[in-house]
């Protein structure tokens, strides 16, 4: 069976869906691994390293994809509407495509996979059950994003993070406030603590208070009977009363902060707006906000995808896109491992062919299209 990995062509994407280590694993499973030349350049993974691990390097993307039984991608393929080639058209009928396909946000493209007879699996839809932890691309990438967000904040902050007692005087430690203590937020807390900051954090799921405190940060939460815990461990939309009380609490907290990292997300919805223009106006000049939710609408007023915005009162709002991609080498290595962990149980060890159990909870959760039809329940009605 041939497994192809093309170069990622979407803007701001330097990750790649395979690492040399994972080429070895895949060849061990019985795959012939074909990699487009230069696919790993942005992640410091060379063609020579892939070749040494047992892959074949090809110059022609169309030839690599056209021959492939399985295609590994980071982001969803180009569909000809974007600048660039139509990568869906390059794949053969019956091919299996595995990647972060963002199917809920790209429903037309889901129909195109079905029309092309491509069976697709969206890694971000893998259920977050214990058995699937090693396949969890949301966690592997969010963890790196939380870490990098703090470093990005430091890079823009004109002062030091830790307390420093010097002969010339004492520097006070930075105050860091993390909003949303999921995977990215908890790593942001840990990173800011390691750098010596005084850290506090908030979330709508009260059960995270203990996790925040165990990392040495202060929990700041709305006193309420209402819990933000929704299905699958994710947050849900809060009531208007809760939102008002949360806004008052954030307003009181944020004006004392030097650095704010916002990570709040509700699956399938726009990011909750947590920092208003009034709150920004109350902040100190030189303070920095990193909005990790900027690509899904932003947690912070005035944040702009791909930009660093400076407010009239001197607050910097950092809105980098694709923050895991800013650590492309580690992000790619972990992502590739997630994909290999996903495909391993789908390969029959005797025949070395794919043998997909469509009744399996993980397969059902991630499966988007199969045999020309849209099969995921969240997409099916519209796709048929």
- Positions in the binding site for ligand NAD (CB under 6 A): 128, 133, 136, 138-139, 142, 179-185, 202-205, 228, 233-235, 238, 263-267, 272, 274
Is residue 139 flagged as an active site residue?
yes
Number of continuous H segments (helices) and E segments (strands) in the chain? 13, 17
**Residue 153 CB burial class (10 angstroms; 0-12, 13-18, ≥19):** buried
Token pair in block for residue 58: 């090809």
Q: 5 vs 275, which CB is nearer to ligand NAD?
A: 275
Select 341 or 380, whichever has its Cβ closest to ligand NAD. Answer: 341
Q: What is the closest distance, in whole angstroms, from the C-beta atom of residue 274 to ligand NAD in the complex?
A: 6
> Active-site residue 234, yes or no?
yes
CA distance 181 to 212: 7
- Alpha-carbon Rg for the chain in angstroms: 22
Q: What DSSP string describes 218-248?
A: EE-----S---B-GGG-B-PPPHHHHHHHHH
Annotated catalytic residue, options 60, 105, 131, 133:
133
Nearer to ligand NAD, 88 or 184 (CB): 184
CB of 217 to ligand NAD, least distance (A): 14
Q: Which is nearer to ligand NAD, 19 or 139 (CB)?
A: 139
Catalytic entry in 19, 50, 109, 136 = 136
Strands 169-171 and 164-166: antiparallel
Q: How far is the CB of 135 from ligand NAD (least distance, A)?
A: 9
- Min dist CB 13 to ligand NAD, Å, is 20
CA 253 to chain centre: 27
User: Of 139, 141, 246, 332, which is the active-site residue?
Assistant: 139
Residue in 321, 338, 276 with CA at minimum distance from that of residue 148: 321
- What residues are paired with 32 via a beta bridge? 2
Q: Which residues pair with 179 in a beta bridge?
A: 202, 262
Q: Which is nearer to ligand NAD, 269 or 310 (CB)?
A: 269
Q: Which of 157, 219, 234, 242 is catalytic?
A: 234
The CB-nearest residue to ligand NAD is 182
- Give me the least distance between CB of 309 and ligand NAD, in Å please: 21
CB 126, CB 120: distance < 8 Å = no
Length of the chain: 384
Of 9, 128, 194, 321, which is the active-site residue? 128
Catalytic site includes residue 128: yes
Catalytic residues, by residue number, are 128, 133, 136, 139, 234
């Amino acid at each position: 069976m041939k497994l192809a990995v093309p170069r990622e062509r979407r803007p701001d994407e330097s990750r790649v869906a395979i690492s040399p280590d994972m080429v070895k694993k895949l060849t061990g499973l019985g795959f012939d691994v074909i990699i487009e030349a230069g696919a790993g350049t942005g992640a410091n993974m060379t063609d020579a390293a892939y070749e040494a691990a047992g892959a074949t390097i090809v110059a022609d993307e169309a030839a690599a994809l056209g021959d492939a039984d399985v295609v590994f991608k980071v982001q969803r393929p180009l569909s000809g509407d974007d600048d660039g080639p139509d990568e869906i058209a390059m794949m053969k009928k019956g091919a299996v495509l595995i990647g972060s396909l963002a199917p809920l946000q790209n429903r037309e493209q889901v129909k195109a996979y079905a029309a092309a007879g491509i069976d697709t699996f969206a890694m971000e839809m893998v259920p977050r059950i214990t058995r699937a932890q090693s396949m969890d691309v949301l966690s592997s990438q969010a963890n790196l994003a939380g870490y990098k967000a703090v470093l990005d904040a430091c890079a823009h902050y004109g002062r030091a993070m830790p307390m420093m007692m010097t002969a010339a005087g004492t520097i006070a430690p930075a105050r860091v406030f993390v909003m949303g203590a999921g995977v990215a937020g908890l790593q942001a807390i840990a990173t800011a603590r390691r750098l010596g900051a005084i850290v506090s954090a908030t979330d709508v799921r009260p059960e995270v208070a203990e996790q925040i405190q165990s990392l040495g940060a202060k929990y700041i939460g709305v006193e309420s009977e209402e819990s933000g815990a929704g299905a699958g461990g994710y947050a849900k939309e809060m009531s208007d009363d809760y939102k008002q009380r949360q806004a008052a609490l954030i307003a009181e907290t944020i004006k004392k902060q030097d650095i704010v990292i916002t990570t709040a997300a509700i699956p399938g919805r726009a990011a909750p707006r947590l920092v208003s223009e009034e709150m920004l106006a109350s902040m100190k000049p030189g303070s920095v906000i990193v909005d990790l939710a900027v690509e899904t609408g932003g947690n912070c007023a005035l944040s702009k995808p791909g930009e660093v915005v400076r407010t009239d009162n001197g607050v910097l709002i950092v809105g980098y896109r694709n923050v895991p991609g800013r650590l492309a080498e580690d992000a790619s290595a972990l992502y590739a491992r997630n994909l290999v962990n996903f495909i391993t149980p789908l390969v029959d060890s005797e025949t070395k062919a794919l043998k997909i159990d469509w009744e399996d909870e993980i397969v059902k959760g991630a499966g988007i299209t199969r045999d020309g039809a849209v099969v995921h329940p969240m997409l099916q009605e519209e796709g048929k």
